[in-house]
Structure 1
């Protein structure tokens, strides 16, 4: 390839820019002609296109949260079951029943512990689990932040 100097255009390249991409030599027979020889760069060049981040769902955290949720749900269900049994009722009995179920002191205290600060159904504990779950399923992909935030809200 031959490149001739055009006096109307001046595109100066620094020595660093020229050495990265090519070796420039002047033609010995005609000093106005510059020969350019392509030499591939030895530097590791980053991709110019966007690559999807390598994100993976944190299955371990999701499983831990699922088990924790199942334990809490089972505990709450058992609490209601015992309450009903003390009154001679079952879940099937109350399905279509219009009567009121009386809550005894023992059940009230236990339910209060579950929803109080530090309890598994306290607002803080529930919101922490929701956020932890969202982080786990995002795989650390920060682009999913707004989508997950909207889903939580």
Structure 2
């Protein structure tokens, strides 16, 4: 049962990815603004600067897919909320109040809880190989989220990988010990998929690079 409740940390770690990427984007936006000002100054002195059509195409292609980001975040938040409700229900039955996320993870890590049949069946379905919180679906969602944040730009992979690792470390600290096996396997799957995306090893990425 511990595995179900901690697998959600893999998708929650994407929030750290979002913050790190958006901070980087804000910095680059400021830099872009400065570049535009410089270009404008040159134009006033008779220097003409024209962007190539290829650059324009790249800019459009790499644009952050905000709609996809919002959809993935909303989906993750909904699922997380549902799971949290199950945990709260279980804890309430045992007379244990939940104050915040960290206390919930600590409670689960201790293993001092019992699970009713309904919750157990749902948990088993969720962490199955083809379940929503299973290794494949969870790692796929994290990579999809990363691609949407970066506009499917593999050059941003290292930044997003670092953010993912930080989120995983935070989840481990909240858990208080090594995360369950399913979370570790999800971690490995995410890094493997990041690596393939970064190096153009997947059909989808290869197709995108060909278009560019």
Give the TM-score band, short-chain normalised: 0.5 to 0.7
Equivalent position SS for 1:124 = helix
The alignment covers a number of residue pairs equal to: 105
User: Aligned to 2:85, which of 68, 78, 88?
Assistant: 78
What RMSD, in angstroms, separates the aligned Cα atoms of the two structures? 3.2
Displacement, 1:141? 2.6
Of 130-139 and 142-151, more deviation after overlay is shown by 142-151
Q: Gaps spanning 5+ residues in structure 1: where?
A: 1-45
- Name the TM-score, length of structure 2 as normaliser: 0.41
User: Aligned to 1:115, which of 124, 127, 150?
Assistant: 127
Displacement, 1:138? 1.8
Displacement, 1:142? 4.0
Name the residue aligned to 1:18.
none
Name the residue aligned to 2:152.
140
Measured against aligned partners, the alpha-carbon deviations of 1:59-89 in whole angstroms (never above 9, x if no partner) come to 0000000011001100110111111222233
Higher-helix-fraction structure: 2
- Give the ranges of 4+ consecutive aligned residues of structure 1 lying more than 6 Å apart after TM superposition: 96-99
User: Aligned to 2:142, which of 130, 134, 142?
Assistant: 130
- Name the TM-score, length of structure 1 as normaliser: 0.55
Whole-Å separation in 2 of the counterparts to 1:61 and 1:149: 19
Higher gyration radius (CA):
1
Whole-Å separation in 2 of the counterparts to 1:116 and 1:104: 18
Structure ranking higher on relative contact order (CA contacts 8 Å, 6+ apart): 2
